[in-house]
Structure 1
Amino acid sequence: LLLSYVIYTENLAIPYIAAGNNLNLPVIGRILRGGGAFFIRRSFKDNPLYGAVIRAYVEQLISLGVPMEYFIEGGRSRTGRLLKPKLGMLDMTVDAYMKTQSRPLAFIPVYIGYEKLIEGRSYI
């Protein structure tokens, strides 16, 4: 949400945000959806129909030139270390671009670092 706020204050289009369905909670889910989130399952290897629907949705967003935001690391680690990337959304984005190629595609990596962890003592 912080990144979306910064983008909004710069008068840019707020991105659609791929969020895990675990964030679709009764009150918070509605707020996140209002901020541009769309909820997806963490994995859909066992459900090819669900995967096809998500691919079609991403393809539609790319063809319309809608900005998208997702986190390929899938979440934060308890130690602050980088996690192994999960490349599913990246794969869907590139595939959708290769099919439509209606507009230029740009990937803008963003890093938000925390100098001090509030819960740092619990890691020790």
Structure 2
Amino acid sequence: MKRKILKTELILQIIFIFACLIWFILIGMHENEFYIFFYIFPLLAATNFLGFFVRIFTVRSNWMAYYFLAVLIYLPTLFLLSLMVASSTSAFYKIYFYGGSLSISLFYTITGFFIIQDESAILK
């Protein structure tokens, strides 16, 4: 049962990522560059957050501890960087913000495969 829950959560996460990507390609690229900031990233963060709770309550895994640690490191450094950089239009800030956010989201999705693999090894 745990494996089915994890697979369903991972499939929904992947579908949502592709939906956001298509949404950005069709609409967001023609809008303001902060479209991705105000619409797509909060939606991805919300789905990652909900999926994180599903994974925590379903199975205990070190991967979730690594993900939580990555988020705990990324958010304060993003905040400190925004304080140090006077303009949020700085290229370094944008690369760090967009690249870091997407990297954490991809890390979360990829760890889903490892959790399912670890869980199936335990069940055998």
Identify whether the pair has TM-score above 0.5, normalized to the shorter chain. Answer: no
Q: Identify the structure with bigger relative contact order (alpha carbons < 8 Å, sequence gap 6+).
A: 2
Q: TM-score, normalised by structure 2?
A: 0.29
Q: TM-score, normalised by structure 1?
A: 0.29
- If each structure's helix is expressed as a fraction of its own residues, which one has the higher value? 2
